[in-house]
Amino acid sequence: MYIRLASIAIAAVLALGAQEQPEKDSLVKADAGAPDATHADDYVVPPGTKVPLSMINSISTKTAGEGERIYLETVFPILANGRVVIPPGSYVAGTVTDVKRPGRVHGRGELYIRFDSLTLPNGVTRDFRARMGSLDGRAAETLDKSEGKIKSEGNKAGDLKTIGEAAGAGATIGGLGGASAGHAGMGAGIGAAAGATAGLIGVLLSRGPDAVLAKGTTMEMVLDRPLQFAGTELDFGNSMQRPRGADGPGPLPSKKAGMNRRFPL
């Protein structure tokens, strides 16, 4: 009798377990297919996205110091899921992380820039860390993408021009002085050597061109992490618009063609 009762109890437990298992499976499947309600309306700008920017202020290796802030604005809309999430006129703030002035004999001015935050026109802000991906092709400066370093142009041609002009002026003066003494050729040679020496000294005591990011210079910022926005954060209907027409002239032209060396200040 006891054996029969035990068999009945075991059968009842097995039947109950078999009935509960489909219910659990159905709950698991329902949970897996349902979207996360807290992220259903989110818009994500993925890492690696390039955001075109324009400089609002100007910085230079001549005056900038480590920790100085730079200010830029976006110039092209960035979309996610077919919706504009970063409209033109959004603000980007960055920091100068290192500055190197150009040397007197060789070397170039160097700037290191880091992007720190984004503020949409409606005031929504995101903090991040991003690097520069490209620099205005009109600029004389160059970008080392591997190190995030902006380098000023070299001036070897300007150095040679300075020495040559000084030598020519010395030769003219020496030739005139030598002619009065009856040794025009010797005077010209001595004057040329003296002029070249003076020009070389001027080159050695002068710094090369500084690296400059002028107001209006364009560049690309490359995101290193995703930027996530809720749909409610992307209402730009009542946003303040920045007055247009305040853009600067853009990057400074190359100084190689007409640059003369001067003694440093």
pLDDT in tens, 140-171: 889 988 778 899 876 544 444 444 544 455 44
At residue 256, does pLDDT exceed 80?
Answer: no
Asked whether the predicted pLDDT for residue 17 surpasses 60, the reply is: no
For the whole prediction, is pTM greater than 0.85? Answer: no
Q: What is the CATH number of domain 38-154+210-233?
A: 2.40.128.260
Q: How far is CA 27 from CA 1, 23, 33, 40, 131, in A?
A: 40, 6, 10, 20, 45
Q: What is the pLDDT of residues 197-244, one digit of tens each?
A: 554 444 444 557 889 999 999 999 999 999 999 999 999 987 765 555
In angstroms, the CA 30 to CA 124 distance is: 35
CA 152/CA 110 separation, integer angstroms: 6
Distance in angstroms (rounded) separating the CA atoms of residues 183 and 264? 37
